[in-house]
Amino acid sequence: MLFKLNNVIQPFAWGSKTMLSQWAGIPNRDNQPQAELWMGVHPSGESRVAQTNERLSEVIARDIPGALGDYTARHFGQLPFLFKVLAVDQPLSIQVHPDLASARAGYQQESAMGLAQDAPERHFHDPNHKPELVYALTPFSALNGFRTWEEIQLLLADFNLPFVSSLALAEHNEGCNRLENLFKAVMALDSEQKQQVFLALDAFLAKSGGSHLVEQAREFIKPLRQLHPDDIGVLAPLFLNIVFLEPGEAMFLYPRTLHAYVSGLALEVMANSDNVLRAGLTPKYVDVSQVVAHTDFHSSPAESLKLVAQEQDGVRLFPVPVEDFRFAVIAPSQDWRTRFLRGPEILLCLEGEVTIRHQNTHISLSAGESLFVGNKTLTYDYQGNGTLARAYN
Ligand SMILES: [Zn+2]
């Protein structure tokens, strides 16, 4: 059960026109943004089996539980993860993904209300949560989770913005709801107040100097300000952690955590879901009260966000605290090695060329090419001179 995949490329406006072709020679004949390459069975962009052009979900459905394995078939009933390559040229919206219970309730409610799947005000496209892992292929920058209150206070004191800075520095703002209060107050500024904030912000962005924290936030905000001149979301780097991943580094994003991807090429593995609630930096539908309802307002220290890989025998495993997926990066050698399956897998070649073998079937993958491995294969061998990413359950 080895099936080479043909995958959908999503032309979202923020996508890069060149990164996928530079990375893997993927052509871009129409010169459109190539934002995301999707590997999986999500109906918004499903992979097909290269040889027969069948949908991957059909191939899996024909052989349940064989294709998924007993565990995955029983717990999920389908391929439980979606594997993507992200090519981020312009920042994505500030967003949050719901947890499992609220995704189920929200999906049921919006379906009962008769909201069409593609209605702009629809939040829940499926009844699933969407924890995410990001693995950088080039330097990759993002916002992830709230800064500590002390950091926010330091930044806001230096930026000294009308309405905003006083909120964080006010004596009475000491309670456990202070992050939520601050976020809601900033999002509730009226257009007059926003114009005053932007005036002060632009003056501050034009200056230089200050602490490392201030310099970093200033450089991060500048391009956001250019792209979204009327969006108060440009202040997000004052509240959220700025994270830089080097190639080969990864981070995890919990449900109910505000985040935004800003630039770079990366892999992303997530639960099979497309549920997004947006808070800003986007022309798409924004619903602040929904975002507040689905966000945990606590600080995540920046140093705790990156995942620590477990390394063994040329395999780097990045442990994640969810059952929906696992993720590892493999460096094959000239000798054949064997891997044992736990459930279904998708293998993606990141560079070089790698051959996968099961009994008499040999399939070679070069950069950007991917393979579905059904669970009943039980094992496969691999060999080559490249790098392989492995998303599995
Ligand atoms: Zn996200």
pLDDT truncated to tens, each residue of the chain (393 aa)? Answer: 899 999 999 999 999 999 999 999 999 999 999 999 999 999 889 999 999 999 999 999 999 999 999 999 999 999 999 999 999 999 999 999 999 999 999 999 999 999 988 888 888 988 999 999 999 999 999 999 999 999 999 999 999 999 988 887 765 566 668 899 899 999 999 999 999 999 999 999 999 999 999 999 999 999 999 999 999 999 999 999 999 999 999 999 999 999 999 999 999 999 988 888 888 887 777 888 889 999 999 999 877 899 999 999 899 999 999 999 999 999 999 999 999 999 999 999 999 999 999 999 999 999 999 999 999 999 999 999 999 999 999
Is residue 332 within 8 Å of 364, Cβ to Cβ? no
- The boundaries of the domain holding residue 42 are 2-143+244-282
- Name the pTM for this structure: 0.93
Same domain, 178 and 132: no
- pLDDT at position 44 is 87
Tokens of 177: 């709801």
How many whole angstroms from 48 Cα to the centroid of ligand 1?
24
Q: Which residues have C-beta within 8 Å of that of residue 14, sequence separation ≥ 6?
A: 33, 35, 88, 89, 90, 91, 92
Pick the catalytic residue from 278, 326, 339, 390. Answer: 278
- pLDDT at position 349 is 98
Same domain, 45 and 103: yes
Give which of 226, 262, 265 is closest to 243, Cα–Cα. 262
How many whole angstroms from 122 Cα to the centroid of ligand 1?
16
In a domain, 221, yes or no: yes
In a domain, 79, yes or no: yes
In a domain, 295, yes or no: no
In a domain, 359, yes or no: yes
Distance between CA 68 and CA 346 in Å, rounded?
12
Same domain, 173 and 319: no
In a domain, 294, yes or no: no
How many whole angstroms from 306 Cα to the centroid of ligand 1?
16
How many whole angstroms from 364 Cα to the centroid of ligand 1?
32
Residue with tokens 């930026």: 159
Tokens of 102: 């609220």
Is residue 372 within 8 Å of 344, Cβ to Cβ? yes
Active site residue 218: no
Distance between CA 219 and CA 173 in Å, rounded?
28
Same domain, 85 and 198: no
Same domain, 227 and 262: no
Same domain, 36 and 61: yes
221: CATH: 1.10.441.10
Same domain, 61 and 210: no
